Homo-oligomer: A and B are copies of this chain.
Amino acid sequence: MFAPAYLDHNATTPVDARVLEAMLPWFSRRHGNASSRHEYGRAARAAVDEARMRVAMAVGAHATEVVFTSGGTEGNNLFLRGAAAEMKGGIVAISAVEHPSVREPARALQRQGWRMREVAVDGAGRVATADFSAALAERPAIVSVMLANNETGVLQDVGMLAEMARPTRAWFHTDAVQALGKMPVDFRALNARGVHALTVSAHKIGGPKGAGALVVDKRLELVPQLAGGGQERGLRSGTENVPAIVGFGAACQLVVEQESAAATRLLALRGELERGLAEQGATIFGLAAERLPNTIFFALPAIDGETLVGKLDRAGFAVASGSACSSVDPEPSHVLMAMGVAPDLAQGAVRISLGRDATEQEARDFLGALAETAFQLRRLAALAG
């Protein structure tokens, strides 16, 4: 099989071989329902408990604060809907660059009488402190600001924002789906500064699709959004997805062991790629901000992003245009719009997101293929013009 170089790890990652190995016994020989009381059930329960510890360890939380979900989207929905259901309505404040799985449930709350307040970002994609203050003055009941953006990789100073929000007594959530595995994520430290809940997902860190978690301060009374058998302390009913949860735990252990070394290496690689891109005349979005070590969101002048992604795919490089998680949506990136990027330039946006095992050779090959592809596209455009 022809295997293009995969440079789209913010969309999803391959399951690490060690993670898959940890998962395999739980599909068949040890297939019990974790709620069953016989040997098969008890073994499954113990495996879920162990995975819960590993996830907790990777995010600096206590195991009892981890609520397993089917993934990041469910975690974000559980927080926003589950918090709102305890309240009589009010304002939900989110940054203008949140992932659709935060934006859309916030919009859904509007239909129930809530108001959604989007907080502006600056040209580099960072939450604008002045507008955040203005939003807080409106007394939001719920606030959600992501740790790291999925498109640009831009980091937010969530701890500082949570401290600012503290006097309002709003419930503060952060989407840490893209942060985990690429930078330190410490719920205990964030919680001390006023963050009440945090979402993570397995398939972004070398774990399987189908598992994620909402890490949540137990003083919060969330209303469950999936009711039934009462699993996950009643907060998330449904048969525990044991193999996926075990895989999530194993992937978290790899994060603990490797994140710091991988980040250093990726940062060097990112620098190399960015120098090459700059030489080709690319604009790199969020360049002035602190960003994830694996992510570059860029555009080449007068070249369409979609077209470029298609050509690069045929040349053997899998990258994303706009936000890959919601590529069903052909609109220009709302993240770039919020950053004030001109629509023409935003149309050219392409995202590279490296995996832990990315190599210098891959980076060089990519830059070569990009130069060649851009040259061809420009020549075609000149001929057509």
Bound-state CA distance A20–B28 (Å) is 9
Quick one: closest B residue to A28, CB to CB?
B14
CB distance from A260 to the nearest CB of B (A): 24
Contact of A11 with B35 in the complex, beta carbons under 8 Å:
yes
Q: Is A36 an interface residue (CB 8 A)?
A: yes
Contact of A225 with B77 in the complex, beta carbons under 8 Å:
yes
Contact of A239 with B31 in the complex, beta carbons under 8 Å:
no
Taking the full assembly, how many copies of this chain does it contain?
2
Q: Given A100-B230, A101-B229, are A35 and B324 also a contact pair (CB < 8 Å)?
A: yes
CB distance from A332 to the nearest CB of B (A): 15
Quick one: closest B residue to A212, CB to CB?
B238
Q: Is A118 an interface residue (CB 8 A)?
A: no
Stretch binding the partner chain, chosen from A137-145, A280-288, A291-299, A315-323: A315-323
Contact of A37 with B310 in the complex, beta carbons under 8 Å:
yes
Contact of B325 with A35 in the complex, beta carbons under 8 Å:
yes
Contact of A71 with B238 in the complex, beta carbons under 8 Å:
yes
Quick one: closest B residue to A42, CB to CB?
B313
Point out the residues of chain B lying under 8 angstroms from A382, CB to CB. Answer: none
Given A8-B33, A12-B239, A71-B238, 8 more pairs with CB closer than 8 A: A12-B32, A14-B27, A37-B324, A100-B229, A101-B227, A107-B227, A231-B328, A241-B244
Docked complex: A52-106 residues within 8 A CB-CB of B: 70-74, 76-77, 81, 99-101, 104-105
